[in-house]
Structure formats: structure tokens, C-alpha cells
Structure 1
């Protein structure tokens, strides 16, 4: 883990240089670091703020690589690394790691380091709940978490994970649909080294239909996530960075009432427009509006969309975007995609063979694209398929029954990808990961 911590230190120093006032001298301060020669070359990392085997939950990791990779999994707690595991992946492959194999139970944030381009997804399920989420692969100084709620019957927890061997400090700024939510206890929160904190937002801000958080990292490294608990099902989503363009390939499945939540962390109002791309029709300028400075907007979509559709959000400032869904029994949420790519890894899709699995391919370009997809397991690819996605449209792919650690998706031009799992009434929205072009 030493190499990753060095990389995080460099990232933290860089962010400090970016966000601090410019020095009076014209010469920028130099930041140097030395990597020991015997350390393995870490090409990618995943920081997972929540995983769990608490109670009846069965937790697992979906670990996926584009080429040969060694993966090192570490489990920090109370300032120490309480355990670790080493895994190898050969070629384009995926491995499902059962968290019940660890000699401890309950909540277990974790770090995974890779020697090549790779990623991780987190899954947890029991008889009534299905939870899926991605992990962070960057360490920004400002995180956005739109889409929470403390409406009657729901609870909302803010997870704050510090994977660094030094204490961190954050301030959390909350807003509802109409105003800011001043809460002194969320200012200058210390998150101890190699540890995490769970903050009960419901106790602090009860009976709010919509809540969003802006997390300002004042010191160190912190990865945030929201855990939304309904009466039976739960949803988990990790914080997002800022972007002026977002695509939402997955809006709703399984009868969930969908809402798009946009958060503006800036000091100026932001104007936005939402375009719709359906399986049969498209509709530009579906919604237009303004997000007040430091606030968020929640856009219910049930009366606006009559067919399976994806969305594209364009803004004149930097915002965050999350899609949330709920029914009487189910909760689901995931961040939008702020990067188009020709290749995607979809961790977790197929890891539960009794569930129903769907891929959602959004092509907002003016040209038709051809998309191939394949299930990944420890031995490589399996159960592949190919579809055409017409210009400016969404394509839903119902995947065949079978076990996999995840899926690999490749297209003839850049696209965005969504993924969902359903098991009984429970629903999970997964977090596909774009691969670098070239």
C-alpha cells in the first residue's frame, strides 16, 4: 500500500497547490517524491468507502482487469491495516471476492491497488435488499453527493472513509430543495487515519424530501458515500466530481419512480438543459432550469418520460448529477457519467446468477454504433453478444442467465453505459467504469 499512499500524497499536494491562493513569487513551488525501486508499479487504485457483511448481508467485491494484473486488497480500521489479500487476474478477466472469507464482520471500507488498468465494484444483498456501487479512483478536494432523503420511513447515512495514514478534515455543506441547511456539527469533521466515520444525517436533518451534500476536504484524503435505507431495500452511491456535461444511460427499471438530482457547488447560479434519448424517440430540451449557487434541484421524471430513455445534461457551470429511484420496497441510485468512452468495465453485473441483469447503452452521437459485450470471469470472456445502437438513442440489453464477475463493453465510437440488477422487489443500479482511450 506504500506506493498508493505516495500517489495519494502527490495528488493531495497537487490539489493543495490548485486550491490555495497563488504565491507572490512567479516561481511555482516544486513537488517531488521518490518511489522505492523495489515497489510494484501501481497503475490504478479503487477506494471503496463502504462494504459490509453486517447482519444478514452477504458482501462481495467484483474485481475486473483489462489485462494481466495483480490486485492487493487492504482493509484499514482504527489506524491500522487489519488484513490484506493478494489476487492475480490473467488478461481481460474478472474475479468475485467473497467478503465473508475475511476474519471479521460488519462494515469494512477497503483499498484495492492494481498493477494495470482495473476497477472494483461493491455488492451486498440479503433476502430483501440489493446494493451495488462503484469505488473512487481519484481524490478531489470537493465532492458532490446529490440525491439523499430523510423522508418518513427512510434513513440516510453519510460515510466518510480516510484511506491515508494521517488524519483528515472535511466540512459538509447540506441543502434541501429550497434552502441551505446550516448544521454546525458537520463543520471541520475529523476522520481519523486509516479509518472511517458514519454520520446519521436523519438524526440531524429529519423529514427532508431531498438532501444533497457538498464535501470540502480541508486536509488529507476522504472518500464520501451516501447510504439510503428504505424499509427493506437500500441504495449506495459514492461522491462525484464536478463536470459541465453528464449522461444518464439508466433512468429507471423495475417500476421505480425516478428523479434526476443536480448539485451546484459554485458561488454562481448555473443554467442547465436536459435532453432525452429514448429507444424509439428523442426529445431535446426536455427540461431547462437554473441551479442556485451552493444548492441543488430535484427533477421528478415520471410524468416526463413515457419510454425507456437516457438523458444528457449540459450546464454552463460545473455540477454533479445522480439518478435516484424508489418504490414502496426498493431503493436505487447511481451517479451519471461525465466521460464518454469506447470501452467499459461493468463490475458486479452477473455476480448474482438469480438476479435479472440489464445493460443500458446510450448513444448521443449522430452516427450508429456497434456494441459488443461479454461476461467476464476468472478464465476470461464468456456469453458474448453484439448489437447496433442507432444515432441519438438508448438500447436496453437483457442479459442471459449465468454467473459472471462483470461485463466488458466495447463500441465502435464513444458511448456511455448503465447497468442494473433486480432480485425480487429489490433493485440496484451499478457503476460502469470507462477505460482510457487508446
Structure 2
């Protein structure tokens, strides 16, 4: 029988040899950290690092601001004018360069769940407003040419030959474009590819290099867009929101963007969480208490708390809103800002050179049991292998305290420099399960 140090709970156990065993209290995922496996850098140096050509700064990839016409037609954009954020919707192609988009919401050219899926399986058709928007966009030559060019590019990427694409008439090509105006997989794309001060191609603009105000606008824009995708069809059961940063984490481009995907089933993680809450309705309070009593709180403000995640396949930081459970699009502005400020801070502390997944969890609109919106930031610094596949026990190279010890000094430096919003850090944080109730903002 293993010897467990008696002061640790069953969800986070440190054995006599230093092995740390974790169990996720919402999913049951089991994770081990074995001594000696975490002493390596989180990020690998870039394979190629070259000076930035000033003429190429804004056209490094298809998401860059001088290449708007390489993505499908925008649904909306955020612009900053005279210190105020303004959302512009339904711009025509000829108007795209009249303003500078800080963030753009565009359909994903390569959908996970396509509009054809919704049409064939659920009889979803474009709404009158979507038909009107498509007709308006196609009514001017710039928009018409843009749509046909993007459709041809997608068909070629799917393997159609140049001759096969050339054989298609324009009416057929336009049918392929319906999903651009009525689909359920969107991207929220940031303006910068490189930071404003970047001199080499390794100095990428990430979530952590945004200002706190920019990140808050990015977060609010994402929340509003999630709400919109729920209205795609009554068959939408969930809208997955996530951000893949850098290619090891699944990003197609090393350009900041989130993805929102409407799906017609509850995620496996949501079902597991609901089952857990049915049997253990105090699970959220238990998680917060565990992190508070085991020294795993990282940062806190009046609306939210950031803490090390327990029981995740990869090293994880969790950002939770405080107060009553609420979905992001229904949350008061003060709560969204509080979550955003902490999320921005832990991104900045992680660093732009670390591959990460940012995952949003929330209550599906058709579920009535209270579930907590929260955001997980996962460091993609290891590869799942045969041991995990055969045992479903996951080896995490960093235990929760090692994550804490890496993040806290960086948060303190960032706060001292003014790069992040004001917040309490480490031992300054004070939370209790009662903080998961009440109104915020």
C-alpha cells in the first residue's frame, strides 16, 4: 500500500517519494507527476528567427490586416475610435479598409461543423437577415469577386484541381458561399501578427501582449459572438469557444485568434460535469476550497480568481468568475472585465513563446442546472503517449505547486511594470466557498 502524507486530500496527494497524484473533481481525470520530469523549459526556441521586413509586418499571414480579402466576408469588427470601442456589422468589401479593425469576426474557411452539416442533418436554412446580408455583399463587384475567389481557394485546398474548379459556373460557386453568411464556426481575429515593438519574426503578438483594455474588448466580443451562434438553430446544443496558440497547440497560423463552433450535442466534458454535480452538488465549492487551502491561488480581483488547475492532462491555470453562476454573454460588464484581466495576466505570465490552449466552459442554454462559466489555460508542453493511452492515467510534467512557483514571480514583475491590471497576487488572495454566490457588478 502506498504511503500518503496525511495532510493532503484525496484529490491532490503527494506520496512519500514525491510523486503527486491528482484527480479532477469535475471529470474524474487522473493525473500523475513523477519527480524529475519537469526540469525543462516550457518553450522551444523558434526554428527560424529573421528580421521583420517593414513592408511585410502587416501581411505575414492570411489573418493580417492587409490581407482581409483572403478570409470569408466579415460578420463584424471592433474598432477603437477616440478611446471608445465600437462594433461595426455587415461591412461591404469596399468598406473594409475604411477603418482599422482591432478584432474581426469572420467565418472559418475550414469549418469543423459545416453549414452543409446543419442543412443536411437539421434542415437549417439561412434566415431572411442572412439572405439579405449575402445579397448586399454580392451586389457590388468587389464583394462578388471576393466571395468567388475565396470559394475557389477553399475548393483547391480541399483537393479540387484547377481544371475542376474552372468547370464550375458562378451559380454553383455561390452555393458554396452560403455558409459564409449563415454558418456556425467563426473566428475572432486580432489585428497584430507581431508586437508593435517587434524586430524579429519570433516576437509574436499574443493574448498576453495585448493591453488589459484590448484584452477586455476581445473577451466581450467573444462572449457576444457565442450568444449569436446559439441562435443559429434550435438544434444548437453548445457553442465551443477556444483559442489555440502556436502550432504545437493546434493553430493553423501563429496569429492571435479564438474559435467559436456551434455543435448539436453536449460535449463529453459537460456531460461528465453534470453527472458529477448531480452526485456532488458542492463540487465547485470543494475545488475552490482545495486551491485556497493548498496554496494554489495565483491572482484575484473583486470579480474573479485565478488558480492552478488540479487534475488536467496538461499544466493548467483556471480563471473563475466569483458570485452566482452566469454565462459569459449574460454576465455584467464588471464581471467580464474581472475575468478578462486575470486571464490576460496569466497569459502574460505564461509568455508568448509557450504553446497553449485556452478553453471556455459554460452552461448550455438548454441546461437548467447551475454550471459555472470558467476559462482554462493549458500549457501544451508534453505529448500524450502509450502509457496514457493504455492506462488513462495522464503524466503531467509539472505538479500544481511547480506551476504556481513559475507563475507567481512573473505576475509580480508584470504588476510592478504596470503591464497587467491591478490585482492581488499569491498570498494576498483570500477566497472562500461563499464567494461563489452573490451579485458581482
Q: Per the shorter chain, which TM-score range?
A: under 0.3
- Between the two structures, name the one with larger relative contact order (CA 8 Å, sep ≥ 6): 2
The structure that has the greater radius of gyration is 2
Looking at secondary structure, tell me which structure has more helix per residue.
2
